Structure 1
Amino acid sequence: MTRLQHAFEEDAVEPQPVDRLLHAGLGRLSGGISPAALTLAGTDWAVHLGLSPGRQGELAEKALRKALRLMAYAGHCVAGDGEARCIEPLPHDHRFDDEGWSRWPFSLIHQAFLLQQQWWHVATTGVRGVDPHHEEVVNFVARQCLDVFSPSNFLATNPELLRRTAAQGGWNLVRGWANWLEDVQRQLAGRPDPGLEAFQVGRDLAATPGKVVYRNRLMELIQYKPSTKTVHPEPLLIVPAWIMKYYILDLAPGRSLIEYLVGQGHTVFAISWKNPGAEDRDLGMDDYRRLGVMAALDAVNAIVPERKVHAVGYCLGGTLLSLAAAAMGRDGDQRLATLTLLAAQTDFTEPGELDLFIDESQVSFLEDVMWARGYLGRGQMAGAFQLLRSQDLIWSRLVRNYLLGEREKPFDLMAWNADSTRLPYRMHSEYLRDLFLHNDLVEGRYDVDGRPVAVGDIAEPVFAVGTVTDHVAPWRSVYKIVRLARTEVTFLLTSGGHNAGIVTPPGHPRRTFQVAVHEPLGPIVPPERFERETPRQQGSWWPEWHQWLRQHSGRRGPPPAMGNLDAGYAPITDAPGEYVLMK
């Protein structure tokens, strides 16, 4: 290191508290989104477009052609021949499915909107010189702005709303006003959405019988009571994401993955993460590995001695479990029998639409927001996820609740989604920087106990699950485990999204899946080829996974005791424990 480098390091300063407080205040107004990041992206696009007269001329020509198409379509509509649309909605856009949109003047209104939407997509993409990340941000912001003014959102321009209002004499609007008042009151009082009070954790949710057999400052470990006379000898340890309450995998009876596994003769343990507060601000990724995965594994080994463990990680829990398993493989620790990763990423080069919210400017801003409180709140996380699917999660709900005057019937997954969690300042900062932003695990820079680890250090067979419409962990990103691992990987792709695709009990009427085994020294099959050539099977993926677990398990025998008093793991309280109830 040169003397000049030393001088620079000595002059480096920590962020000023006044700057951080300002950013934290702005974050409360912006939902945690950095104004600087948006400004940089918009300026990059605007300047490059302003210096591209040829591109401007091309966009002007496209605007003129679209206007002429719309005029021609309007003429056909007036003549009574408006059936052939000049533009079709995107496959996932169901705002204009109602037959009323095919009648004048609503046919012209929605076609004009879709043509404008298409023009803005062209205008915000393909501008030479714009940073790809900035291009994605500008395109995303343009979509959000257009969605606000969609004709489906307004009574006067939505034929379905007008028809319903006429048929009900306006009572749908009266009910909608009452719904709005109720929602405002509930939000101010910190109460859940209407109907969700009927779902109580421990009674309607997280109801699989069990005992908390270990607790530390970060997690509780639950051992579930066997429901079969004999069990497979290797226990399962489930590591959920700390961004969510663990009972996403233990929903209402009949829809619980944990209940299903217990019913198939598995001894199941699950981590229930503590909902952190400001006092936990300095808990980092390594704390979650040591006090979470490794402490739980020690407890499972004591309660079910001399048996390897099937480890299961979901979402961020799967990423954390991958780090732990890689360190164990590097160090020769052979306590794992298999590794199952549910919608979990290890390579973050293509993290999907969440990448819109991750760059240096955004991460620095978010760090300041978390620094002021000690954690990232549920509202800021929920807002980002809702923006990614604003048509379904924001505008369609507003229309249904306040204009149609209808309430969606509450169900278990909705109740779980409303159960808030937080993320500690240090842990989330390390996750965003080391994994999401810098991709240190794949680049060989992620250290565990002072030495780097790699996905290739994992020694156990891997079962990885991706979901087709996942906005959080896109399946093509999850699929990269096939290339990174040096052991056998069974990859399964199921229909559905990040949560609903995983929570798919047998008997689901619309679920399908594809599954293939990738040998460690075999050729790498690209994801497009996997999706195109792998046979599609009907039904839930749960039985397929259970059969895979059976193949890697020994002969069934009597179930183990609940806890191990001699080893210091006596049952503490009934499941679901205390941490899951913390608000």
Structure 2
Amino acid sequence: MDQDFTKTLSDMMQTAARTHPVFKGMDTDGHQQFVDSWNQAAQSMLGSSSWGDWLKTWSSYQADMAQLWMSGMAGGAQPTKDRRFGDEAWNEGIYPFLRQSYEMTARAMVDLADKAGLAEHEQRKLSFYARVAADSLSPSNFALMNPEVLKLAQETGGKSLVDGFQNMLADLEKGYITTTDESAFKVGENLATTPGAVIYRNALIEVIQYEPVTPKVRANPILVVPPCVNKFYIFDINEKKSMVRYLLDEGNSVFMISWRNAGEETRDYGWDEYITEGVLAAIDATADVAKAEKLDLLSWCNGGTLLLAALAVMPQAQKSLVGSATFLSAMLDFSDPGEVEVFIDDAQIAAYKQRLDTAKVAPGRDIARAMAMLHVNESIWGFVVNNYLKGKTPPPFDVLYWNADTSNLPAKWYSYFVEEMYHGNRLKEPGALTLLNTPVECRNIDVPCYFLAATGDHIVPWKTSYSSTTLLPQQAEFVLTSGGHVSGTVINHPVKNRRHFMAGGDRSGSAEDWLASATKSEGSWWPHWLQWLDETSGDTLRTAPRTLGNRKHPVLAPAPGTYVLEQVPQDG
């Protein structure tokens, strides 16, 4: 392969990645990752058999562009299914030609990256960043190339552009893109409104006990272990979507951990503290207040991984209190961590350590930006176009408000999670990790377990969740719901539900074998889970408590508590 031509292609890709200033601002490290991966790909092509595939793609691209020029002069252009160009304005004048030339260039750019022939991780990373860079170059992202923007500016006498500039300045000041009308929500007023009280508090957590709504309740209370990277109130987002309210309506006692946003007090905490002062402390407080011999644990995302680790090293005093453990979109096996894998390798971990050393925490905004990169058009560019180029205010959306209400993680906790679990995949290896001065052994997790995965989850692939169940000493229940990481799990109320779930498959084989043998049921998985709890952990009822807390754990504050409202810097 000609080195001058390789350099030309490399320079072209690097220039494309740098072109859009807003993209560069959204991800300061992503551009360099793309450049590094592309340079590695270009060098690997020298003398490689993949050069033939590259040449075919490049030749095809040139031929298609030549054809477009000829057809464009004649006024013809192919239709598109890309929603970015769905408005009729893209079919008028020069815009069909502009749009189609971009689509051809973006496709060639991605195809060239996909055919680089790198090692698996480097190839996945290059392909990912090539798509991100290609998406950033869309003419819809530029005011002077977007006919919808120009038309709106003309209709409003330029007011839309002025409003958009003001929106951009406001977002630059606060440090992130506005995705919802934030003035429409307030935690404790129209979010997280289920009545309850904080009955336990330490430096790391508050435990909320919710008021029962039925005369009788299950003897085993449910303790929720939410992810510590997000606020707990996704489980109580509003009256119509709240999982907490549903569980109460179905006759359960519900307790909730509210993690403190990592700041001065907790920034030096690691996994040991999150287990002892978090999970174990909450178990003790819940069991004492509920006067329960057993309790059922419900976790989600990294709260599930934390609970798995805790169960593997849990002292007998707390373990004897656990009737069952449920894991929503949680991983024990990190062999395929989904799209997040593109951010995790030695070079990127080492680079981010400098950020951790300075900030002392993994800032919540950093984590939110990384997650947004996974779906850059929906999570970034769509809002850039509407907010800044069209001058519109996003409509109120409670889930997006919660998503923007980020939480820091202690640097020590974050590094251990990424290096030992995501990168090293050591949680599943017997004795490879040590927590609470105890070797972490998955075979010690001998309580009944329920794993719930979602078909559209881009953070925890469902097959990875399934593989985690095979590492436990006793057979676990596995259920697969339609929907995504949030929409299929904690937002899945049975009322007016259009989703479905799969359950009851043959657990002796692969994930594909399980799916082929599973039974499909329409609606939410929530009732199925409650039935499993009754059958597995007990359905004994007791009289609901008349008051919250007790003498040892008196009411400290009304729900949703104080920690969820603390204002902690999220940008490091």
TM-score normalised to the size of structure 1? 0.84
Q: Output the CA distance in 2 between the equivalents of 1:72 and 1:416.
A: 48
Residue equivalent to 1:180 = 168
Q: Which residue of 1 aligns with 2:6?
A: none
| Contact 1:41/1:134 (<8 A) preserved | yes
- Specify the alignment match of 2:209 in structure 1: 223
What per-residue deviation string (whole Å, max 9, x for no partner) do you get for residues 14-71 of structure 1?
xxxxxxxxxxxxxx9996748886665344222212343x533432332222332344
CA 1:365–1:67: 2 relative to 1, 3 Å: closer
* Aligned match for 2:340, one of 315, 329, 354: 354
Give the equivalent residue in structure 2 for 1:125: 114
Could you tell me which of 36, 45, 50 is aligned with 1:55? 50
- Counterpart Cα distance in 2 of 1:372 and 1:42: 29
Q: Which residue of 2 aligns with 1:9?
A: none
Specify the code of the residue in structure 2 equivalent to 1:580: V
Q: Say which SS state the counterpart of residue 484 (structure 1) adopts.
A: coil
- Asked if residue 115 in structure 1 is aligned to residue 101 in structure 2, the reply is no
Give the C-alpha shift of residue 172 in structure 1.
Answer: 3.3
Q: Assess, with a 3 A threshold, how the Cα gap between structure 1 residues 346 and 94 changes in structure 2: closer, same or farther.
A: farther
SS for the counterpart of 2:257 is strand
CA distance in 2, matches of 1:294, 1:372: 31
State the partner residue of 2:380: 394
- How far the C-alpha of 1:337 sits from its partner, in A, is 1.6
- The answer on whether the counterparts of 2:181 and 2:393 sit within 8 Å (CA) in structure 1 is no
Deviation at 1:561, TM superposition (A): 5.5
Shift of 1:436: 1.0
Letter in 1 for 2:165: W
Q: Cα 1:339–1:194, aligned 2, differ >3 Å: closer, same or farther?
A: closer
Deviation at 1:391, TM superposition (A): 0.5
Equivalents in 2 of 1:530, 1:441: separation in Å?
24
After superposition, the C-alpha distances for 1:370-415 in whole angstroms (9 at most, x for unaligned) are: 1222211122112111211111111111111122332221122122
3-state DSSP class of the match of 2:326?
Answer: strand
1:252 is paired with a residue of what secondary structure? coil
Q: Are 2:239 and 1:253 aligned?
A: yes
CA 1:169/1:346 → structure 2, altered by over 3 Å: closer, same or farther? same
- On the 8 A contact 1:314/1:343 being kept in 2, the answer is yes
RMSD after superposition: 3.0
Q: Residues of 1 paired with 2:253 and 2:69: CA distance?
A: 66
Aligned counterparts, 1:26-45, within 5 A? 33=29, 40-45=36-41
The residue identity in structure 2 corresponding to 1:124 is: A
User: Which segment is superposed worse, 447-456 or 238-247?
Assistant: 447-456
Match for residue 42 of structure 2?
46
Any idea what SS the aligned residue of 1:231 has?
Answer: strand
- CA distance in structure 2 between the aligned counterparts of 1:72 and 1:31, rounded to whole angstroms: 36
How many residue pairs match? The answer is 542
Partner of 1:547: 531
Q: What amino acid maps onto 1:133 in structure 2? A: H
Tell me which residue corresponds to 1:12. none
**How far, CA to CA, are the matches of 1:124 and 1:192 in structure 2?**
32
Give how far 1:535 is off: 4.7
1:122 maps to amino acid: D
Q: Deviations over 1:147-184 (max 9, x none)?
A: 12102223443344445445555543343334334444
Instruction: Report the equivalent of 1:98.
Output: 87
Distance 1:253 1:261 in 2: 12
Q: For residues 520 and 146 of structure 2, what CA distance do their matches in structure 1 show?
A: 39
Structure 2 match to 1:371: 357
Task: Tell which deviates more after alignment, 297-306 or 238-247.
Answer: 297-306
Paired with 2:357 and 2:150, the residues of 1 have a C-alpha distance of: 48
TM-score, L = length of structure 2? 0.86
Say whether 1:234 aligns with 2:220.
yes
Give the match for residue 10 of structure 2.
none
Does the CA-based 8 Å contact 1:344-1:473 persist in structure 2?
yes
- SS of 2:193's equivalent in the other structure is coil
Which residues in structure 2 correspond to 1:513-528 (within 5 Å)? 513-517=500-504, 522-526=507-511, 528=512
Q: Structure 1 residues 141, 512: CA separation in 2 closer, same or farther (over 3 Å shift)?
A: same
Within 1, Cα distance between the matches of 2:463 and 2:69? 42
Kindly provide the CA deviation profile for residues 330-369 of structure 1, in whole angstroms up to 9, marking residues without a partner as x.
9993322221111111111111111111112222222231
Distance 1:157 1:386, change over 3 A: same
* d(CA) in 2 for partners of 1:429, 1:267: 35
| 1:478 to partner: Cα distance | 1.9
Which segment drifts farther, 507-516 or 309-318? 507-516
Report % sequence identity.
31
**CA offsets 1:299-338 (integer angstroms, 9 cap, x no match):** 1221223421110111110111111223349999332222
1:146 aligned residue: 134
What letter corresponds to residue 136 of structure 1 in structure 2? R
One-letter amino acid of the structure 2 residue matched with residue 541 of structure 1:
W
Q: The residue matched to 1:557 in structure 2 has which SS?
A: strand
In 1, Cα distance between equivalents of 2:168 and 2:256 = 39
Deviation at 1:274, TM superposition (A): 0.9
Equivalent in 571, 576, 580 of residue 555 of structure 2: 571
Task: State whether residues 36 and 361 of structure 1, in contact with CA within 8 Å, keep that contact through their aligned partners in structure 2.
Answer: no
Counterpart of 1:326 (choices 303, 312, 320) is: 312
**Contact conserved, 2:203 with 2:265, CA < 8 A, in 1?**
no
- What is the match of residue 5 of structure 1? none
Which structure 2 residues correspond to residues 80-99 of structure 1 after superposition, within 5 A?
A: 82=77, 94-99=83-88
**Once structures 1 and 2 are overlaid, which stretch shifts more, 203-212 or 114-123?**
114-123
CA contact (8 A) 1:221 1:269 kept: yes
Paired AA for residue 58 in structure 1:
D
Q: Partner of 2:59 in structure 1?
A: 64
Q: Deviations over 1:498-530 (max 9, x none)?
A: 2233243436657422221357xx51242x455
Q: Contact conserved, 2:446 with 2:474, CA < 8 A, in 1?
A: yes
| Contact preservation (8 Å) 1:278, 1:374 | no
2:224–2:299 CA contact under 8 A, matched in 1: yes
Q: Distance in 1 between matches of 2:76 and 2:456?
A: 36
| Contact in 1 for aligned 2:499/2:522 (Cα 8 Å) | yes
Tell me which residue corresponds to 2:461.
474
Aligned equivalent of 1:276 = 262
- The alignment partner of 2:319 has SS state of coil
Aligned pair in 2 of structure 1 residues 192, 44: CA closer, same or farther (>3 Å)? closer
Secondary structure of the residue aligned to 2:470 is helix
Aligned residue for 2:189, secondary structure, equals coil
Report the equivalent of 1:10. none
Q: Which stretch shows the higher mean deviation, 261-270 or 510-519?
A: 510-519
SS in 1 for 2:83: coil
Unaligned runs of 5+ in 1: 1-27
Letter in 2 for 1:442: K
Structure 2, unpaired ranges of 5+: 1-23, 568-572
Pick from 240, 265, 275 the counterpart of residue 289 of structure 1: 275
Would the alpha carbon gap of residues 383 and 473 (structure 1) be closer, same or farther in structure 2, given more than 3 Å must change? same
- Per the alignment, residue 435 of structure 2 pairs with 448
Inter-partner Cα distance in structure 2 for 1:548 and 1:279? 39
Contact 1:222 1:576 in 2 (8 A): yes
**Secondary structure of 1:409's match?**
coil
Matching residue's letter, 1:565? N
Amino acid at match of 1:357: F
> Which residue, 403, 407, 412 being the options, matches 2:389?
403
8 Å contact from structure 1 (residues 209, 225) kept in 2: yes
Aligned partner of residue 84 in structure 2, secondary structure: coil
**Contact 1:375–1:425 (CA<8 Å) still a contact in 2?**
yes
Q: Is the 8 A contact 1:278 1:424 kept in 2?
A: no
Contact 2:300 2:328 in 1 (8 A): yes
- Relative to 1, partners in 2 of residues 1:36 and 1:417: Cα closer, same or farther, differing over 3 Å? closer
CA gap 1:125/1:352 in 2 versus in 1, 3 angstroms: same
**Aligned-partner SS, 1:443:** coil
The separation in 2 between residues aligned to 1:279 and 1:48, in whole angstroms, is 49
